[in-house]
Amino acid sequence: MRTPIIAGNWKMNNTAKEGAALVEALKPLVKDAACDVVVCVPAIDIPAVAQAVQGSNIRLGAQNVHFAQKGAFTGEISADMLLEYGVQYVIIGHSERRQYFGETDETVNKRVLRALEAGLLPIVCVGETLSERETGKTEAVLLKSLTEGLKDVQSPEKLIIAYEPVWAIGTGKTATAEQANETIGYIRSVLAKLFSPAIAQTIRIQYGGSMNAGNCKQLMSMPEIDGGLIGGASLKPMDFSAIVHFDK
């Protein structure tokens, strides 16, 4: 049995003060959640949010991590910097990082390896664009991203994969539950080949792309879908809490 994991991706929203207030509002709403609850916050919000989540069941995540331990990488954040504040999860290879900041499967791989080495749990994002889906390239794109992005991973059971069709992120368009389930099933078959069928059964695979209070139940009822990576809806406590309680 895989424990579902619902993670919020705040992206570049919420100052530290606003982030701490959001967590304070969220704490009583999600305290009896049956799934893992994570908020992935802007780096500068981490100290304030780390304090706010103390004593709660909300876990802290970051939105990126650099692949070097330290050094001349202006503007970057290291794994040790995250760990010092109790960060446990880190999103790696989000499509917005790939689209706007030159992230590639190769740099994703370097970041995944560093995160695992440091003891962070990576949430590795993969997904196809609309034109890739429409031209029948979805599986080829996912195969490449997974094969290259997860190369040399020695502890695959620590991975979380987020299947995020790029065309569904922030657009209000959601993959149907059947589409998401089928594609996540394909991802699991790739993980079985890269690692082993038994390990693939233990790896949690989230769906991400306009998941909200209205569609979460149907998506989460699918056998292959183990959670959600939530953008817009994670900024509103009631909406995020409704997703966390998808089983109610």
Residues interacting with ligand PEP, by CB under 6 A? 9, 11, 164, 169-170, 208-211, 229-233
**Catalytic site includes residue 66:** no
When the beta carbons of 30 and 230 are compared against ligand PEP, the nearer one is 230
Query: CB 7 → ligand PEP: shortest distance, Å?
Result: 9
Which one, 63 or 109, has the nearer CB to ligand PEP? Answer: 63
Query: Which one is catalytic: 66, 94, 103, 132?
Result: 94
Specify the amino acid at residue 135. T
The answer to whether residue 245 is catalytic is no
Q: What φ, ψ does residue 164 adopt, rounded to 5°?
A: -125, 95
Q: By the 8 A CB rule, do 79 and 65 touch?
A: yes
E strands, 87-218, in order: 89-92, 121-126, 160-163, 204-208
Residue 206 Cβ vs ligand PEP, minimum distance, rounded to whole Å: 9
How far, in Å, CA of 3 to CA of 8, rounded? 16
The one catalytic residue in 103, 128, 132, 164 is: 164
Give the integer Cα–Cα distance in Å for 132 and 135: 5
CB of 212 to ligand PEP, least distance (A): 7
Cβ closest to ligand PEP, residue 195 vs residue 244: 244
Residue closest to ligand PEP when measured from CB atoms: 231
* Cβ within 8 Å of residue 182, ≥6 positions away: 224
Least spacing, CB of residue 43 vs ligand PEP, in Å: 16
CB of 38 to ligand PEP, least distance (A): 12
Q: How far is residue 55's CA from residue 113's CA, in Å, rounded to a whole number?
A: 30
| β-bridge mates for residue 30, sequence order | none
Name the residue nearer to ligand PEP (CB basis): 6 or 211: 211
Distance, in Å, from the CA atom of 37 to the CA atom of 143, rounded to the nearest integer, reads: 28
| The two three-digit tokens of residue 221, written as one number | 């009822």
SS3 (DSSP) at 118: helix
CB 6 within 8 A of CB 207: no
Closest to ligand PEP by CB, 97 vs 245, is 97
Residues annotated as catalytic (active site), given as ranges: 94, 164
